[in-house]
Amino acid sequence: MRILLVEDDPTVAQFVVKGLREAGHVVEHSDNGRDGLFMAASEAFDTIILDRMLPGGIDGIRLLETLRSQNNATPVLLLSALAQVDERVAGLKAGGDDYLTKPFAFSELLARVEALTRRGKSDGPQTKLLVGDLEMDLLSRGVRRAGQKIDLQPREFRLLEYLMRHAGQVVTRTMLLEGVWDYHFDPQTNVIDVHVSRLRQKIDKPFPSSLIHTIRNAGYMLRPE
């Protein structure tokens, strides 16, 4: 995947570039808004990681607005040291697809970038999700594994749907909290772990192989063994 990183802090930039390359992505880096805008507008990227505050007259929000006004729909992940909820809303309003507050764990950044890239690709309305021998019918809201019907609570269904839509990708606890529950705060207790473990009881326990995997220091991943 081709990713553009616009970030002025050299340490953070180096760390992110290195990590993304290790994960197998092609990364271009710009350390100011002017060059960043030029690169974003003239080349094709799968995702842009954009710092909110940039030197050189054009900050992240300006860059994003300019890009969107040119009908450039490349998914954009905003990075910011501003944690206020209003700032997050402003970032998303300007056309951002996701928002991550500094300091962040690299695993969180990587998971979100990969989720964004996937989102950009599959736009067509799906009626069925398939991962290994697990299938989900979005119309009848039925779930089967190896032909066996599985009963899920509405919230469990949404949790599984989210995992299936991001099958093969790491999904962090924060992403689940935001994507499934639409909560934007950090609970003290590990509420997500409990819900995932309940889902496992139904999806994985009765079967010989597991589909839901715990990724250490990151989150979860749904994939066929």
Partner 1 sequence: MIRSASLRFATLFGLVFALSALALVAFLWFSTANLLDRQVEAAINADAQGLVERWSEGGVPALLLTIQERLGENVDDDAIYEVTDSLQRWVAGNLNQWPVKVETPGVFYELQVVRAGTRSLADVRRYDLPGGFHLLVGRDVRGRVELRRLLTNALFSSLLVIAALGAAGAFVIRNVFRRMVAEVSATAEAIAGGDLTPRVRRSGRGDEFDRMAESINTMLERIAKLMDGVRQVSNAIAHDLRTPITRARARLEDASLHARTEGELRAGVERAVSDLDNVTAVFHALMRIAEIEVGARRSAFAEIDLGPLLADLAELYSAVAEEHGGLSLRLEVPDTLAILGDRDLLQQAVANLLDNAIKFSPDRGHITLAAARVDRQVRLSVADQGAGIPEADRPRATERFFRGEAARSTPGSGLGLALVQAVALLHEGSLLLEDAHPGLRATLVIPAMSPVQQMNSDSSAPHPEDTATLPSDLRR
Q: Which residues bind partner 1 (CB under 8 A)?
A: 83-86, 89, 101, 103, 105, 155, 181, 183-191, 194-195, 197-198, 217
Report the candidate in 152, 155, 153 with the shortest Cα–Cα distance to residue 143: 152
Closest to partner 1 by CB, 40 or 100? 100
The DSSP annotation for 52-88 comes to: SS-SSS--HHHHHHHHHHTT----EEEEES---HHHH
Which helix (H) or strand (E) covers residue 2, if one does? strand 2-6
What minimum distance in Å lies between the beta carbon of 189 and partner 1? Answer: 5
Closest to partner 1 by CB, 72 or 101? 101
Q: What span, in angstroms and rounded, lies between the C-alpha atoms of 15 and 38?
A: 23
Tally DSSP H helices, then E strands, for the chain: 8, 12
Closest to partner 1 by CB, 198 or 223? 198
Closest to partner 1 by CB, 89 or 130? 89
Q: How many CA atoms lie within 13 A of 15 on its CB side?
A: 13
What minimum distance in Å lies between the beta carbon of 198 and partner 1? Answer: 6
Q: Please confirm whether the linkage preceding 187 is cis (ω < 30° from 0).
A: no
The DSSP annotation for 130-174 comes to: EETTEEEETTTTEEEETTEEE---HHHHHHHHHHHHTTTS-EEHH
What minimum distance in Å lies between the beta carbon of 153 and partner 1? Answer: 8
What minimum distance in Å lies between the beta carbon of 88 and partner 1? Answer: 10
Report the candidate in 70, 67, 71 with the shortest Cα–Cα distance to residue 50: 67
What minimum distance in Å lies between the beta carbon of 89 and partner 1? Answer: 8
What minimum distance in Å lies between the beta carbon of 87 and partner 1? Answer: 10
